[in-house]
Amino acid sequence: AALREGYERFDPRAYLRNNYLPPRADFSSEEFVVPWKLRCLAETFASGEIRGRTLIDVGSGPTIYQLLSACDHFEEIVATDYLAVNREELGRWARGEPGAFDWSPFIQHVCKIEGRGEPWQDKERRLRERLRRILPIDVHRPDPLGCPLSPPADALLSAFCLEAVSPDRAAFARALLHVGSLLRPGGHALLLGALGESFYLAGPARLPVVPLALSDVRAA
Ligand code: SAH
């Protein structure tokens, strides 16, 4: 209940400002968290092994950076979030509406590290075409979407979500189990996040995070 209350004060624009504009979004060195995240994702998808029809991103928030390397390998990307304000922010970007957050520095950086010489506008267009559904989700429900995903996802991605919405390690493990029901048997699950983190900021909201050790994630 306390977590739910915290998320009522979550401000997408403030979250984007705190986490996805300078100083954090500094592309000059991989010492900074944003280029580190993009590198992890680019390397993960570079082998071409993780691919299929559908990828579901759990707890997308107002962000699309996590889909930039993934989108080349799936026909459809399903984004999800608990908050309507985040789903609306994503929709504005997907439709290319004025006032949407400018992800172009991220897209340019990903094209650069992927090293295929692809014009960044092509990647932007491809992600917009493939991002067809933006759905409500609650990872604390055994049935997180309220209905089965059909067909089930070939891959599931979740970035900085499960640890940021779970009050303790047991809840984190249960949330992982719940979202696992969206994935086909043999599909890939990719988690990107921070170990040992205890809170983050989204404007007036200071959101608690359950500090995890690598062993907690592996056990879950
Ligand atoms: N993936 C994004 C956002 C992470 S912030 C990124 O990498 O920056 C955590 C997200 O979890 C927020 O967007 C929040 O709205 C969402 N969230 C909060 N409660 C949730 C719940 N019960 N189930 C799923 N997502 C939830």
Answer yes or no: is the C-beta of 59 below 6 A from any ligand 1 atom. yes
Answer yes or no: is the C-beta of 161 below 6 A from any ligand 1 atom. yes
Q: Is residue 73 a contact partner of residue 157, using CB atoms and an 8 Å limit? A: no
Ligand 1 atom with the smallest distance to the CA of 139 is: 23
Pocket residue to mutate for ligand 1, from 17, 161, 162, 163, most atoms within 8 A of Cβ? 161
Residue 204's pLDDT band (cuts 50, 70, 90): confident
What's phi and psi for 87, nearest 5 deg? Answer: -65, -35
- What is the β-pairing status of strands 199-202 and 52-58? unpaired
Q: Is 96 left (phi over 0), alpha (psi -120 to 50) or beta?
A: left
Model pTM above 0.75: yes
Count Cα neighbours of 79 within 13 Å in the Cβ-side half-sphere: 28
What's the pLDDT at 27?
94
CA 198 to chain CA mean position, Å: 19
Ligand 1 atom with the smallest distance to the CA of 66 is: 7
What's the pLDDT at 42?
98
Ligand 1 atom with the smallest distance to the CA of 144 is: 23
What's the pLDDT at 56?
98
Domain range spanning residue 195?
Answer: 1-219
Q: Give me the residue label for tokens 């306390």.
A: 2
Residue 203's pLDDT band (cuts 50, 70, 90): confident
Answer yes or no: is the C-beta of 157 below 6 A from any ligand 1 atom. no
Mean pLDDT of the chain: 96
Burial class (CB in 10 A: 0-12, 13-18, 19+), 194: middle
What's the pLDDT at 15?
95
The tens digit of pLDDT for each residue in 88-147 reads 999 999 999 999 999 999 999 999 999 999 999 999 999 999 999 999 999 999 999 999
Q: Specify the CATH number for the domain of residue 21.
A: 3.40.50.150
Mean pLDDT over residues 35-45, rounded? 96
Q: State the Rg of the chain over Cα.
A: 16
Mean pLDDT over residues 38-42, rounded? 97
* Domains of the chain: total: 1
The answer on pLDDT for 176 being more than 90 is yes
Answer yes or no: is the C-beta of 16 below 6 A from any ligand 1 atom. no
Answer yes or no: is the C-beta of 35 below 6 A from any ligand 1 atom. no
The answer on pLDDT for 35 being more than 90 is yes
Q: What percent of the chain has pLDDT over 90?
A: 91
**How many angstroms separate the alpha carbon of residue 194 from the centre of ligand 1?**
14
What ranges in 58-161 are assigned the alpha helix state H?
Answer: 84-94, 104-114, 120-130
**How many angstroms separate the alpha carbon of residue 105 from the centre of ligand 1?**
23
Residue 1's pLDDT band (cuts 50, 70, 90): confident
The answer on pLDDT for 29 being more than 90 is no
* Structure tokens that stand for 155 in this block: 């891959």
